[in-house]
Amino acid sequence: MLSEDERERMRRAYYIDHLKVSQIARETGHCRQTVKDVIEAVPRKPYQLRDGRPGPRFQPFQKRLEELLAENSHGVETGQLSTRSIPSARI
């Protein structure tokens, strides 16, 4: 699948630089039909969500998670944090 940047480069080469389809195909490594399809295609609209998304599923637990991370932040700098250092009974 082509990225939007590749598509734009092909369109610019055709419309602005006035290169032939075969020349663009040689330079990009794609077949001529792909280049033709890209040139003739209408540019895609940017993706937008119609409705807002709900918050993360762990949102009710986020405050507790931040507390636990703050308590155990001392092991991160020393590299000594392990699963044994986090008691499972506190969660």
Dmax over Cα atoms in the chain, in whole Å? 69
CB 35 within 8 A of CB 10: yes
- Our count of domains for the chain comes to 1
Examine residue 30 and state whether it is found in any structural domain, yes or no: yes
Instruction: Say yes or no to pLDDT of 75 above 80.
Output: no
pLDDT (tens digit per residue) in 5-16: 999 999 999 999
Examine residue 88 and state whether it is found in any structural domain, yes or no: no
Examine residue 13 and state whether it is found in any structural domain, yes or no: yes
Burial of residue 30 (number of CB atoms within 10 Å: 0-12, 13-18, 19+): middle
Q: 32: domain range?
A: 4-40
pLDDT (tens digit per residue) in 33-72: 999 999 998 766 777 777 767 767 777 888 888 888 888 8
Single pTM value for the model: 0.47
Q: For residue 55, what is the DSSP state?
A: P
Examine residue 11 and state whether it is found in any structural domain, yes or no: yes
What's the pLDDT score for residue 61? 84
CB 27 within 8 A of CB 33: no
Examine residue 65 and state whether it is found in any structural domain, yes or no: no
